[in-house]
Amino acid sequence: MCQLLGMNCNVPTDICFSFAGFRARGGLTDHHRDGWGIAFFEGAGARVFLDPSPSADSPVAELVKHYPIRSLNVIAHIRKATQGEVRLENTHPFQRELWGRYWIFAHNGNLKNFAPTLTGRFQPVGTTDSELAFCYLLDRLAQRFPQGTRDIAELHAELHAELRALAIEIGSHGEFNFLLSDGNQLFAHCSSRLCYIVRKAPFPVAHLADEDLTVDFNEVTTPLDRVAVIATTPLTDNECWTQIAPGNLLAFRDGEPVALRDTTTVAQDYPRGTVTNA
Amino acid sequence: MCQLLGMNCNVPTDICFSFAGFRARGGLTDHHRDGWGIAFFEGAGARVFLDPSPSADSPVAELVKHYPIRSLNVIAHIRKATQGEVRLENTHPFQRELWGRYWIFAHNGNLKNFAPTLTGRFQPVGTTDSELAFCYLLDRLAQRFPQGTRDIAELHAELHAELRALAIEIGSHGEFNFLLSDGNQLFAHCSSRLCYIVRKAPFPVAHLADEDLTVDFNEVTTPLDRVAVIATTPLTDNECWTQIAPGNLLAFRDGEPVALRDTTTVAQDYPRGTVTNA
């Protein structure tokens, strides 16, 4: 299995603190040694750093840790291969363009007997179930919204509902936790395990679960900042993370989750100060 | 105007030496300060490093310089903005997927009154003439070869001819030097200035034109290695570079150029030891 990390904010924010702990899981504090990747949206552009080597040893990860790229939407992934060899083309997150926007996708889980029919517009380059699911998602979105506009905000509710239906359809083939972003919003789907935290004023002093590192966010933020961090399991051991109920797709915008109206979000709090591996 | 750098090899090779000189042109020895990028194919996968800041000061460029990523096909670009603001989404090289392969594109030149009709399958994210030309190229290829196969080799001659026709068509709007690769081969189109060198045994001792750096390739290669380097202007000042005649599209495979049968390549040699800015 793999690990996911996402960030969605109302002001461009660097992910250095969370990434430091997340990265340790790629070979140091956990066994996800089969590559890693991270994508940052900056305006309409996206920067994707991929490395098929373990994140704990990666010079690219070292750069990302020390070079504060500020972004409204970030998606990162460390891999424990289930389907597809350890190769660059099988390294998450994956990127495609649809409606003149980049889309970034990363998956945690394992899909079995998943062989959808594709139109050919989006085709996997590698051999993972994850990239196939991403291509299928975009293929269906392109068919459902052929006139897709640059102002995705207009389509928001419809897009959210369509993605929810697709997540349920694909999820019938197995575990399908994923993060997806077009730079405007970040979708987080929980099939088995995915949690989040919203940090806003008054900001906490947070301590990483995977490294002995503490940060006082009051020193690096303004009172109006709001930052949502989404992860497979909590990254800090002294904050209260909210588990996303299995079967839910949240859309994070401006640093907070917007639930789909017709779904019920059953938030389950993790006990404070506990690293839960739910 | 911008500067292009490409590499095509018969064995995975690092581009550290050429990149050291090329990078200096992004703010040190030349004025291309409006961002830079480099893409490496590794197997079917591609790694694209983009930075809208000058390459001479970029921490990402520092990483690329010291982290020897070995690749069969590399495309790099440093930007002097003509059309489109200095933003990440306007930074070359650009990436899309077609036929289950990644395609990478970078352009040097300036297209005027270029407003082609696109089907919508490939749409620009940024506002450059370059990305628009790339989307148009892929759009036309997708229409011309709807059954595009993973074995691009089969299509090679037809693909080359189609690209040549498209390059001439787009080039009627202005300067259109470009590098394009699908990981199997690297296409280099010269509209005004682009040159290349093929290094093979016995390997030279090469000296950079933009930095006082020398490398003896005999120490880092085997006798069977063959490496083609393509650049806007020669990167070394003690080797003989070949200018690609304007109007020609070369396909580099296994470290050497394959000219299209129905075109005439008029090779113009630069005087040895001279940095020519033709």
Which chain B residues have a beta carbon less than 8 Å from that of A123? 97, 99-100
In 3-state terms, what secondary structure has residue A274?
Answer: coil
Which chain B residues have a beta carbon less than 8 Å from that of A12? none
What pLDDT, on a 0 to 100 scale, did the predictor assign at position A1?
66
* CA distances from residue B81 to A65, A146, B48, B85, B107 in whole angstroms, order as listed: 30, 33, 20, 7, 11
CA distance A14 to A69: 6
Q: How many CB pairs under 8 A join A and B?
A: 87
Strand partners for B179: B106, B188
Q: Give the lowest-confidence range in A143-157, A191-205, A226-240, B160-174.
A: A143-157
Written as one letter, the residue type at A177 is: N
Contact B96, B103 (CB under 8 A): yes
Q: Predicted confidence band at B81 (pLDDT cuts at 50, 70, 90)?
A: confident
- In the structure encoding, which two tokens stand for residue A180, read together? 């997806």
Q: Which of A80, A1, A5, A13 is nearest to A227 (CA)?
A: A13
B88 and A126 within 8 Å at the Cβ level: the answer is: no
What pLDDT, on a 0 to 100 scale, did the predictor assign at position B66?
79
Q: Predicted confidence band at B155 (pLDDT cuts at 50, 70, 90)?
A: low
Q: Predicted confidence band at A169 (pLDDT cuts at 50, 70, 90)?
A: very high
Which chain A residues have a beta carbon less than 8 Å from that of B43? 87-89
What pLDDT, on a 0 to 100 scale, did the predictor assign at position B277?
27
Q: Predicted confidence band at B82 (pLDDT cuts at 50, 70, 90)?
A: confident
B44 and A124 within 8 Å at the Cβ level: the answer is: no
| Strand pairing category for B242-243 and B195-200 | antiparallel
B88 and A121 within 8 Å at the Cβ level: the answer is: no
Residue A255, Ramachandran bin (φ over 0: left; ψ between -120 and 50: alpha; else beta): left
What pLDDT, on a 0 to 100 scale, did the predictor assign at position B3?
92
- In the structure encoding, which two tokens stand for residue B238, read together? 């003690």
Which chain A residues have a beta carbon less than 8 Å from that of B96? 97
CA distance A146 to A133: 19
* Per-residue pLDDT tens digits for A225-255: 999 999 999 999 999 999 999 999 999 999 9
Dihedral sign for Cα B19, B25, B26, B32, please.
Answer: negative
Dihedral sign for Cα B17, A56, A7, A154, please.
Answer: positive
Contact A68, A18 (CB under 8 A): no
- In the structure encoding, which two tokens stand for residue B205, read together? 């001792």
Q: Which of A75, A228, A99, A102 is nearest to A152 (CA)?
A: A99
Which chain B residues have a beta carbon less than 8 Å from that of A88? 42-47
* CA distances from residue B155 to A253, B133, B145 in whole angstroms, order as listed: 45, 22, 9
What pLDDT, on a 0 to 100 scale, did the predictor assign at position A23?
85
Q: How far is CA B90 from the centre of its chain?
A: 16
What pLDDT, on a 0 to 100 scale, did the predictor assign at position B176?
97
* Per-residue pLDDT tens digits for A80-116: 877 888 899 999 999 999 999 999 999 999 999 999 9
Q: Give the lowest-confidence range in A210-214, A261-265, B263-267.
A: B263-267
* CA distances from residue B188 to A54, B4, B244 in whole angstroms, order as listed: 35, 10, 9
The residues of B assigned a catalytic role are 2
DSSP A127-195: --HHHHHHHHHHHHHHHH-TT--S-GGGGHHHHHHHHHHHHHHHHTTEEEEEEEE-SS-EEEEESS--E
Residues on chain A bordering chain B, Cβ-to-Cβ distance under 8 angstroms: 42-52, 59-60, 63, 66-67, 87-91, 95-97, 99-102, 120-126, 146
Alpha carbon distance, N-terminus to C-terminus of chain B: 13
Is the pLDDT at A271 greater than 80? The verdict is no
Q: Does residue A183 or residue A29 have the better pLDDT?
A: A183
What pLDDT, on a 0 to 100 scale, did the predictor assign at position A150?
52
CA distance A185 to A197: 16
Interface predicted TM-score of the whole assembly (ipTM), two decimals: 0.89
CA distance B126 to B45: 23
* CA distances from residue B212 to B38, B62, B118, B197, B206 in whole angstroms, order as listed: 22, 17, 46, 20, 11
A100 and B123 within 8 Å at the Cβ level: the answer is: yes
Contact B208, B20 (CB under 8 A): yes
Q: Is B114 exposed, middle or buried (0-12, 13-18, 19+ CB in 10 A)?
A: middle
Distance from CA of A53 to the nearest CA of B (A): 12
Mean pLDDT of the region B254-278: 51
Does the bond joining B204 to the residue before it have cis omega, within 30 degrees of 0?
Answer: no
* Per-residue pLDDT tens digits for A206-218: 999 888 888 888 8
B67 and A89 within 8 Å at the Cβ level: the answer is: no
* Per-residue pLDDT tens digits for B173-207: 999 999 999 999 999 999 999 999 999 988 888 98
Distance from CA of A37 to the nearest CA of B (A): 10
Q: What Rg value do the Cα atoms of chain B yield, rounded?
A: 17
In 3-state terms, what secondary structure has residue A121?
Answer: coil
Architecture of domain A3-269: 4-Layer Sandwich (3.60)
CA distance A187 to A257: 9
* Per-residue pLDDT tens digits for B214-235: 888 888 888 899 999 999 999 9
Alpha carbon distance, N-terminus to C-terminus of chain A: 13
* Per-residue pLDDT tens digits for B91-146: 999 999 999 999 999 999 999 999 999 999 999 999 999 999 999 999 999 999 98
Distance from CA of B33 to the nearest CA of A (A): 18
List chain A domain ranges: 3-269
DSSP B270: P
